[in-house]
Amino acid sequence: MLTEKYFIFNQNTVTINEGNFQWSAPSNIALVKYWGKKANQIPANPSISFTLNQCKTITKLAFSQKENKADFSFDLLFEGKPKEDFKPKIQKFFERIEVYCPYLKNYHFTIDTQNTFPHSSGIASSASGMAALAVNIMSLEKELNPNMSDNFFNEKASFLARLGSGSACRSINGNIVVWGNHKAIEGSSDLIGVEFPFKVHSNFNNYQDTILLVDKGEKQVSSTVGHDLMHNHPYAEQRFSQAHQNLSAIKTVLENGNLEQFIQIVESEALTLHAMMMTSMPYFILMKPNTLEIINRIWKFRNDTKIPVCFTLDAGANVHILYPENVSVETLQFIKDELVGYCQNGQYICDEIGFGSQLIIDN
């Protein structure tokens, strides 16, 4: 079994003075949701997600050796401009990962980051953002330890990303990723995301995710606070055991291609996530009236046409519409005819299942 110790860097033979890398890392959408965690970013239950293809963070990391090695030192640019508000999150991330990456204080970093999706679209950028930073740091570590295997690179990138933001560990590698120990998924771990290790039915090839931007405003309750409210939550234990069952069930469905069951599990998971928010203390609601309008329209469309389209939700009001590639034409027409009116400024993003982070510049 993987342990935290495995990820502690302990080579000091190579000296690297400066360099820069650029990576992209995608967002991901959970099918079975992570909601609730223990100390050190350990999830209360296992989760599984589709990796996205279009919604990405692109991050460049430039580094140079510095004299004073007492503190972390970095500049942060967002879309080319200094962005002070993001710095505390990065500072905290460096503090959390320092024990695994003791070389960080040797360098000054310039982190230059941008997203492919619209700014403040309500699409979580913490998953793609932390994943993109983690793979860049691993590129530096690989320079310091040139014999590192690709497997270790990916595992430690996921491990580091998790310490930045839990769901980020599912954005490193693979198109369907499991995070959290589960008895039916060999190799699954609370410490890292692993690629779903079974053959996936062709129904899920190029599975589509059209993201309807319902509300782009700042969320009233952050995910970190929401996770925390699962402590002492009256339904927590039941929910965590349900997630284990749903992961077993969706494993079977991903293998046999049964879309009816897929829809049932995925929609139930989305509504359960929001039910946990509504039944915590304090309680809160992140859905908006238009979220419910869209859900009802999807149910009616599915009932009328028998087209296997379903929805899922993240921790927000936006709706992810999931459907197989072979019903794209009808579904996009339905979205344009009936759902765009519920989106803020008519905005939506067409995405699909993708393959994880990618190296863009390596020097």
Least CB distance from residue 275 to ligand 2P0, whole Å? 13
Which residues of the shown chain bind ligand 2P0 in the complex (CB under 6 A)? 30, 33-35, 41, 47, 124, 126, 165-167, 223-224, 227, 273, 314-315
Dihedral (Cα; 117, 131, 153, 111), 10-degree rounding: 90
Distance of CA 67 to the CA centre of its chain: 36
Least CB distance from residue 55 to ligand 2P0, whole Å? 13
Least CB distance from residue 293 to ligand 2P0, whole Å? 21
Least CB distance from residue 332 to ligand 2P0, whole Å? 25
Q: Which is nearer to ligand 2P0, 12 or 283 (CB)?
A: 283
Q: Which is nearer to ligand 2P0, 22 or 125 (CB)?
A: 125
Q: Which is nearer to ligand 2P0, 35 or 342 (CB)?
A: 35
Least CB distance from residue 345 to ligand 2P0, whole Å? 24
**CA separation for the pair 205, 175 (Å, rounded):** 10
Q: Which is nearer to ligand 2P0, 165 or 189 (CB)?
A: 165
Question: What is the sign, positive or negative, of the torsion defined by CA atoms of 309, 310, 315, 316?
Answer: positive
**CA separation for the pair 245, 128 (Å, rounded):** 28
Q: Which is nearer to ligand 2P0, 44 or 124 (CB)?
A: 124
The residues with which 42 forms a beta bridge, in sequence order, are 38
* Cα Rg, the chain, nearest whole Å: 20
Q: Which is nearer to ligand 2P0, 45 or 290 (CB)?
A: 45
From the number of C-beta atoms within 10 Å of its C-beta (0-12, 13-18, 19+), residue 58 rates as middle
Q: Which is nearer to ligand 2P0, 89 or 302 (CB)?
A: 89
Residue 282, preceding bond cis, omega within 30 degrees?
yes
Q: What are phi and psi of 55, to 5 degrees?
A: -80, 105
- What are the strands of the beta sheet with 319-323, ordered from one edge? 310-313, 319-323, 208-212, 348-352
C-beta neighbour count of 102 within 10 angstroms = 13
**CA separation for the pair 49, 347 (Å, rounded):** 24
**Tokens representing residue 162 in the block:** 């998790």
Q: How many CA atoms lie within 13 A of 306 on its CB side?
A: 0
Q: Which is nearer to ligand 2P0, 111 or 313 (CB)?
A: 313
Least CB distance from residue 88 to ligand 2P0, whole Å? 14
Q: Could you tell me which of 200, 177, 175, 199 has the C-alpha nearest to residue 187?
A: 177
Q: Which is nearer to ligand 2P0, 142 or 162 (CB)?
A: 162
Residue with tokens 């519409």: 321
Q: What are phi and psi of 7, to 5 degrees?
A: -100, 5
Least CB distance from residue 30 to ligand 2P0, whole Å? 3
Give the CB-nearest residue to ligand 2P0: 166
Least CB distance from residue 97 to ligand 2P0, whole Å? 14
C-beta neighbour count of 61 within 10 angstroms = 24
Least CB distance from residue 313 to ligand 2P0, whole Å? 8
Own/partner pairs, 76-79, CB within 8 angstroms, 24+ separation: 76/111, 76/113, 77/110, 77/111, 77/112, 77/113, 78/113, 78/114, 79/113, 79/114, 79/119
Q: Which is nearer to ligand 2P0, 308 or 316 (CB)?
A: 316
Least CB distance from residue 131 to ligand 2P0, whole Å? 11
